[in-house]
């Protein structure tokens, strides 16, 4: 049985400021590092055979903390990067409204197309499912990317709640595709008093 766990990276200063990150290479802040350590120290995180991560710094830092604690190999993969945010990267909602008006979402601001996100995400899933058949694979990535990919893999999955920083979501391969046995798990943040972003 192949199991894939998705972890959203720890919190950054841009998360706290409400700035769109996209492909911008923003590091974790002190709280984000603490969140990743709290996750790594929880036995409920489970046993993993290998960890893959986006090569963007905030995900890579999160993954390095996890692999140091788990004592397993880390592989970086650019297909796991966040959705490209085009012109809005580095801006807040207030700044976007000021620059482009309240209907800015209807403009072409250079977002990475949905099809591009799904193509690279499915390519990654198919490759690691074949390479690590019947293994447990942990993937550290980004909120929007993970949600787009989960929706493509499991269209009926209820995902109204935004993925929190360092949340864990687990999928298990079954005959009909994928089952979700854990969604947006953040008990480690409640235990250590971290702010859930």
Question: How many CA atoms, within 13 angstroms, populate the side-chain half-sphere of residue 191?
Answer: 12
CB 109 within 8 A of CB 90: no
Strands (E), the chain: 3-8, 50-53, 74-76, 136-141, 168-174, 177-185
The pLDDT score that the predictor gives to residue 197 is: 41
Domains along the chain with CATH numbers: 3-192 (3.40.50.1240)
pLDDT string in tens for the chain (197-residue length): 899 999 999 999 999 999 999 999 999 999 999 999 999 998 777 789 999 999 999 999 999 999 999 899 999 999 999 999 999 999 999 999 999 999 999 999 999 999 999 999 999 999 999 999 999 999 999 999 999 999 999 998 888 889 999 999 999 998 889 999 999 999 998 855 554 44
The pLDDT score that the predictor gives to residue 196 is: 42
Q: Which of 82, 142, 148, 188 is catalytic?
A: 82
Terminal alpha carbon distance of the chain: 32
The pLDDT score that the predictor gives to residue 32 is: 97
Q: Is 9 an active-site residue?
A: yes
DSSP letter, residue 45: G
The pLDDT score that the predictor gives to residue 90 is: 97
What global pTM score does this model have? 0.94
Q: Which of 9, 142, 148, 188 is catalytic?
A: 9
Q: Is 82 an active-site residue?
A: yes
**Among 14, 51, 35, CA closest to 186:** 35
Residue 85 CB neighbour total at 10 angstroms: 20
């Amino acid at each position: 049985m192949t199991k894939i766990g998705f972890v959203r990276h720890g919190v950054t200063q841009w998360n706290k400021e409400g700035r769109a990150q996209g492909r911008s290479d923003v590091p974790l802040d002190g709280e984000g590092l603490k969140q990743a350590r709290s996750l790594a120290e929880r036995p409920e995180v489970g046993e993993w055979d290998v960890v893959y991560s986006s090569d963007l710094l905030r995900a890579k830092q999160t993954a390095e903390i996890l692999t140091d604690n788990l004592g397993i190999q880390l592989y970086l993969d650019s297909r796991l990067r966040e959705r490209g945010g085009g012109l809005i990267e580095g801006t807040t909602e207030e700044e976007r409204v000021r620059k482009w008006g309240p209907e800015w979402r209807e403009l072409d601001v250079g977002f990475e197309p949905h099809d591009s996100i799904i193509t690279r995400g499915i390519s990654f899933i198919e490759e690691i499912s074949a390479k690590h058949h019947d293994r447990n694979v942990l993937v550290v990535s980004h909120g929007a990317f993970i949600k787009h990919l989960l929706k493509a893999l499991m269209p009926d999955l209820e995902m109204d709640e935004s993925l929190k920083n360092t949340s864990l979501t687990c999928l298990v391969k079954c005959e009909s595709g994928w089952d979700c046995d854990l969604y947006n798990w953040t008990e480690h943040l409640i235990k250590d008093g971290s702010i859930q972003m």
